[in-house]
């Protein structure tokens, strides 16, 4: 499908028929998710693709028994991790070494700036120092106003992971299947069902399947575009 057809036809589906989603469709769509733009290329996401009937039922209950979750052929749980940047930072630096990347600015970005952005020290103390220094500098020049806390880093990784979710859903649509993003879930239970540990946030649970004729609740509704679009020519 043409990109704009995908965007136009993708709808949030709340009821699916019993058609399974082929593994290839899920894999291809998840691979598309991994190609999403992401902050500093730290790829702070994980996706759990659940088709096992028992696990799906457990997750559907954790999704507050929403019909979209209960009738889905697959449930994809998108997780944002602020605790994995060191691993990817190391992999990026190794790849640079292998590929002969020697640009001091690029190396310094990954060796110095990335740790500066992602770590805030015990009890966030380093984040406070960073905030004071940067706020002072900000009187004289443009400065990045954060992140100064683990919470703010969480926002960065959640943003990035949400972009991957959109890639995933667009890919599912392009391949002729349907989806629905859900944030109506019990995060504690979702994490428990998948044994997710560490500083992980469940960003969305995405149901997938083939839509039932009653699966779309109404015509698509968007407010007047003038309300949201601002052109500064
Ligand atoms: C972050 C996020 C969370 C959502 N959570 C739910 C949800 O828990 N249950 C649900 O039925 N739909 C959920 N939706 C779907 C929205 O209701 C839907 O995208 C919106 O009404 C627009 O409809 P459309 O996707 O068909 O264009 C969610 C969408 C997003 C982006």
Please report, for the chain, the start and end positions of each structural domain, with discontinuous segments joined by +: 3-81+159-227, 85-150
pLDDT at 1 (0 to 100): 80
The residue-averaged pLDDT of 188-217 equals: 97
pLDDT at 14 (0 to 100): 98
In short, whether 207's Cβ falls inside 6 Å of ligand 1 is: no
The residue-averaged pLDDT of 41-47 equals: 98
pLDDT at 198 (0 to 100): 87
Report d(CA 92, CA 90) in Å as an integer: 5
Range with the poorest average pLDDT among 43-52, 118-127, 217-226: 118-127
CA of 136 to the centre of ligand 1 (A): 41
In short, whether 220's Cβ falls inside 6 Å of ligand 1 is: yes
Domain 3-81+159-227 sits in CATH 3.40.50.360: no
Peptide linkage before 136 cis (omega within 30 of 0) = no
Residue nearest to atom 23 of ligand 1 (CA): 12
In short, whether 66's Cβ falls inside 6 Å of ligand 1 is: yes
In short, whether 151's Cβ falls inside 6 Å of ligand 1 is: no
In short, whether 158's Cβ falls inside 6 Å of ligand 1 is: no
Identify whether the C-beta of residue 82 lies closer than 8 Å to the C-beta of residue 199: yes
pLDDT at 124 (0 to 100): 86
pLDDT at 121 (0 to 100): 84
The residue-averaged pLDDT of 41-56 equals: 98
Residue 31 has pLDDT above 90, yes or no: yes
Tens of pLDDT along 83-129? Answer: 999 999 999 999 999 999 999 999 999 999 999 999 988 888 999 99
Report d(CA 76, CA 209) in Å as an integer: 11
Residue nearest to atom 20 of ligand 1 (CA): 12
CA of 12 to the centre of ligand 1 (A): 6
CA of 14 to the centre of ligand 1 (A): 10
The residue-averaged pLDDT of 42-61 equals: 98
The residue-averaged pLDDT of 170-187 equals: 98
Helices 150-174 and 23-33: crossing angle in degrees, nearest 10, is 140
The residue-averaged pLDDT of 22-48 equals: 98
CA of 232 to the centre of ligand 1 (A): 30
- Residue 156 banded pLDDT, cuts 50, 70, 90: very high
pLDDT at 122 (0 to 100): 85
């Amino acid at each position: 499908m043409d990109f704009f057809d995908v965007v136009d036809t993708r709808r949030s589906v709340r009821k699916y028929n019993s058609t399974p989603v082929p593994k290839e469709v899920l894999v291809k769509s998840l691979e598309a998710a991994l190609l999403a733009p992401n902050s500093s290329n730290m790829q702070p996401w994980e996706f759990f693709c659940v088709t096992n009937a028992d696990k799906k039922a457990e997750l559907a209950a954790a999704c507050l028994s929403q019909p979209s979750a209960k009738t889905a052929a697959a449930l994809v749980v998108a997780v944002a991790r602020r605790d994995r940047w060191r691993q990817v930072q190391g992999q990026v630096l190794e790849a640079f070494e292998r590929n002969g990347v020697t640009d001091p600015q690029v190396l310094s970005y990954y060796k110095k700036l990335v740790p500066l952005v992602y770590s805030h020290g015990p009890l966030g103390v380093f984040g406070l120092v960073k905030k004071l220094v940067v706020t002072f500098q900000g009187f004289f020049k443009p400065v990045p106003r954060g992140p100064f806390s683990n919470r703010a880093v969480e926002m960065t990784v959640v943003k990035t992971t949400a972009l991957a979710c959109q890639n995933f859903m667009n890919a599912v649509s392009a391949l002729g299947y349907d989806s629905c993003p859900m944030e109506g879930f019990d995060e504690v239970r979702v994490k428990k069902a998948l044994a997710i540990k560490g500083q992980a946030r469940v960003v969305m649970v995405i149901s997938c399947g083939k839509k039932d004729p009653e699966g779309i609740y109404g015509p698509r509704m968007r407010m007047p575009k003038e309300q949201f679009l601002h052109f500064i020519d």
